[in-house]
Structure 1
Amino acid sequence: MHQIADLTSIFERTFYHSHNTRLVKGEHEPIYIPADVKTPYHQIVFAHGFYASALHEIAHWLVAGDKRRLLEDYGYWYCPDGRDKAQQAEFEAVEVKPQAIEWALSVATGFEFNVSVDNLNGEQTCRFDFQARVHKQLLQLLKIGFNPRTTALLKALSEFYNTPWPLNAGLFVWQHPQELSNAV
């Protein structure tokens, strides 16, 4: 049901002409590569053809402003897997908004969303606390509205996958497991 070819096609129809950007299946780690003399269009390269990776990398692109989209990987520093507690806290702080948007993209495609703390070989943090922050950000975005690029893609995905549009908070019900255990 969730084919990469469909996602790349929808993305291209929505953004290639207006933003000169393509979604590209990569073989290794994801990366954003701005257009250059060798490749005349911007590339959102996602890992190994994974649908979830594509949604995640699209979310980063949707967050990035005009100037950031002219820089490789939007000009951000990335500390790979194996982060200590302070590095992991910094990673999670910058991942809240992209993962909130990824959650919305997932619902618009009918694809299961899972937060990613992306630190299997490093200091472990509470995944549920991070998910609570992502959920709070998502509800805020639903309240104030997504930027125009995000809205355009969400609408195109909802139309293709025949999912509810417009998105609303009722589609994103989530409760922290600690809150569930306190209710019992």
Structure 2
Amino acid sequence: MSMFSGVAADSHEERQVDQLIALFDDTFKAFNTRLVRGTDEPIYLPADQSCSHNRIVFAHGYFSSALHEIAHWCIAGKARRREIDYGYWYCPDGRDAQQQSRFEVVEIKPQALEWAFSVAAGRTFGVSTDNLNGVQPDRHAFAQRVYVQLQTYCATGFPARAAQFISVLNEFYQAPMLTPQQCLSLSKDLNHAA
């Protein structure tokens, strides 16, 4: 039995999520945005009459969900950050082939950032096609497209907020920096990512 199974795993993961929340909130306090552990589906909520700060609510308290939702926030521009869920179209689980294809196109960049965040936090990354009750997507092909985008970011630079958070994660978790050479070596992880 692993030392991270059962209650030990839950409390270990919970502590890591608490650390991630603190890192994000401290790094981006100038953006009046907080990372919030959710109990249901993820959502981005801009500040409004009921809450004076923006909230990135991630699903079920999962570390990987937090990284994914942070990735969406790092891509969203000022206008998008004023809208619920950045004003994006979202078709829930149960998508047909055309809807799944549209979903994957808009998920490539956030999932590439999530992969970079995962590396910086010393975590394993896996793509999410998020369609358990719909058409079965080609996970390996999608992982390959996400990997190509990650290579592009490594070669040309990450969006500013993403680069800042990668640096914070690297420093906190003492993980190796994601260099273009290391990014190329991640191709061996494609099968795991899919």
Give the alignment's TM-score, normalised by structure 1: 0.92
Write the deviation string for residues 7-54 of structure 1: whole angstroms up to 9, x where unpaired: 0000011001x1000000111100000001110000000011000110
The residue that corresponds to 1:180 in the other structure is none
User: What CA distance in whole angstroms lies between the structure 2 residues aligned with 1:152 and 1:128?
Assistant: 29
Given residue 53 of structure 1, which amino acid in structure 2 is its aligned partner?
Answer: S
Consecutive unaligned residues in structure 1, runs of 5 or more: 178-184
Q: Which of 28, 31, 47 does residue 15 from structure 1 map onto?
A: 28
The residue that corresponds to 2:101 in the other structure is 89
The answer to whether residue 66 in structure 2 is matched with residue 24 in structure 1 is: no
Cα distance, 1:116 vs structure 2 = 0.3
Percent pairwise identity: 51
Given residue 17 of structure 2, which amino acid in structure 1 is its aligned partner?
Answer: I
Given residue 168 of structure 1, which amino acid in structure 2 is its aligned partner?
Answer: T
The residue that corresponds to 1:52 in the other structure is 64
Q: Which of 18, 24, 28 does residue 5 from structure 1 map onto?
A: 18
The residue that corresponds to 1:36 in the other structure is 48
The answer to whether residue 132 in structure 2 is matched with residue 120 in structure 1 is: yes
Consecutive unaligned residues in structure 2, runs of 5 or more: 1-11
Question: Once superposed, what is the RMSD of the aligned Cα atoms?
Answer: 1.2
User: What CA distance in whole angstroms lies between the structure 2 residues aligned with 1:59 and 1:96?
Assistant: 11
Q: Which of 167, 170, 174 does residue 181 from structure 2 map onto?
A: 170
Cα distance, 1:170 vs structure 2 = 3.5
The residue that corresponds to 2:90 in the other structure is 78
Task: Verify the 8 A CA contact 1:100 1:135 in the aligned structure 2.
Answer: yes
Matches within 5 A, 1:132-171: 132-165=144-177, 167-171=178-182
Task: Verify the 8 A CA contact 1:107 1:171 in the aligned structure 2.
Answer: no
Q: Which of 142, 152, 155 does residue 130 from structure 1 map onto?
A: 142
Cα distance, 1:103 vs structure 2 = 0.1
Instruction: Give the number of the structure whose residues are more often helix, by fraction.
Output: 2
User: What count of residue pairs does the alignment treat as equivalent?
Assistant: 175
User: What CA distance in whole angstroms lies between the structure 1 residues aligned with 2:111 and 2:49?
Assistant: 32
Runs of 4+ in 1 over 6 A off after TM superposition: none
The residue that corresponds to 1:103 in the other structure is 115
